Amino acid sequence: MNLHAIRAIYLFEMARTWRTLLQSIVSPVISTSLYFVVFGAAIGSRITEIDGISYGAFIVPGLIMLSLLTQSIANASFGIYFPKFTGTIYELLSAPISFVEIVVSYVGAAATKSIILGLIILATAALFVPLRIAHPVWMLVFLVLTSVTFSLFGFIIGIWADGFEKLQIVPLLVITPLTFLGGSFYSINMLPPFWQTVTLFNPVVYLVSDFRWSFYDQADVPIGVSVAMTLVFLTACIAIVAWMFRTGYKLKS
């Protein structure tokens, strides 16, 4: 195991976060605060409690999940795409480092950033609404699991993308709509039966549901199913990354 290489890449990626603090941390926190103002205060004041939870508090897990997904993908995809774009990828490919080590270091750094961001948003939310966390350990487990899974997904997008447009397509056209329609701002039980069934095909529903369960002990779908679905997606991402490195897809000719 080339631990020095893992450390070097991890610290390099984390250094990028501190260097771009404004866009990495501050801007997602401001965006989330705006959601609280708009949905929590302005609209939320006209919505009654959902499942016994005030609307402002109800949307906290969904909002954290929204940032977690978009930032995990953005961090990881940019982390591996940028060396491809600048050409410095040659150094990574010629170094004595395995694909597992490359993935661990890039995805580890991207997930770390997302976890930090998730915790900052959680602290910010506590300023706006009264929070309680019923299962803090599970909350952290879901935070880590989701960050790692979507950082892996972002890593795949970063390898696949051959332009900045492609880098943006999946987060903008797929992830954001799925998150908005995944029960971040409402309980899927509020939907008509037909749309409830349709929603179950949205993987983000399971992520939001299990994360909300860790806060309020209430879930839209059974918690075991949610965890299983997340693990299935994680396994699929690992398999795709392994295939990409084995075949050199868009990395080696």
Partner 1 sequence: MQPIISISNVSKTYATGFEALKSISLDIKRGEIFALLGPNGAGKTTLISIICGIVTASTGQVLADGHDIVRDYRAARSKIGLVPQELTTDAFETVFDTVSFSRGLFGKPRNPAHIEKVLRDLSLWDKRNNKIMTLSGGMKRRVLIAKALSHEPQILFLDEPTAGVDVELRRDMWNMVRDLRETGVTIILTTHYIEEAEEMADRIGVINGGELILVENKAELMRKLGKKEMLLHLDQPLQAVPASLAEFDLHLARDGHELIYVYDTQGERTGITTLLRGLADEGIRFRDIETRQSSLEDIFISLVKDRT
Q: Which residues would be at the binding site for partner 1 (CB under 8 A)?
A: 2, 4-5, 7-9, 12, 15-16, 19, 86-88, 90-98, 248, 252-253
Q: Work out how close the CB of 80 gets to partner 1 at its nearest, in angstroms, rounded to a whole number.
A: 14
Q: Work out how close the CB of 87 gets to partner 1 at its nearest, in angstroms, rounded to a whole number.
A: 3
Q: Which is nearer to partner 1, 102 or 219 (CB)?
A: 102
Q: Work out how close the CB of 13 gets to partner 1 at its nearest, in angstroms, rounded to a whole number.
A: 11
Q: Which is nearer to partner 1, 16 or 166 (CB)?
A: 16
Q: Work out how close the CB of 16 gets to partner 1 at its nearest, in angstroms, rounded to a whole number.
A: 8
Show Cβ contacts of residue 31 under 8 Å, excluding neighbours closer than 6 positions.
67
Give the integer Cα–Cα distance in Å for 17 and 9: 13
b/e sequence 80-112, b meaning 16+ C-beta within 10 Å: bbebbeeeebeebeeeebeeebbbbbbbbbbbb
Show Cβ contacts of residue 93 under 8 Å, excluding neighbours closer than 6 positions.
251, 252
CB under 8 Å, gap of 24 or more: what pairs does 141-144 form?
141/214, 142/207, 142/210, 142/211, 142/214, 142/230, 143/64, 143/68, 143/115, 143/118, 143/119, 143/211, 144/111, 144/115
Q: Which is nearer to partner 1, 93 or 134 (CB)?
A: 93
* Measured CA distances, 91 to 108, 154, 162 (Å): 20, 21, 19
Q: Which is nearer to partner 1, 70 or 105 (CB)?
A: 105
Q: Which is nearer to partner 1, 25 or 125 (CB)?
A: 25
Q: Work out how close the CB of 28 gets to partner 1 at its nearest, in angstroms, rounded to a whole number.
A: 21
Q: Which is nearer to partner 1, 180 or 249 (CB)?
A: 249
Q: Work out how close the CB of 241 gets to partner 1 at its nearest, in angstroms, rounded to a whole number.
A: 18
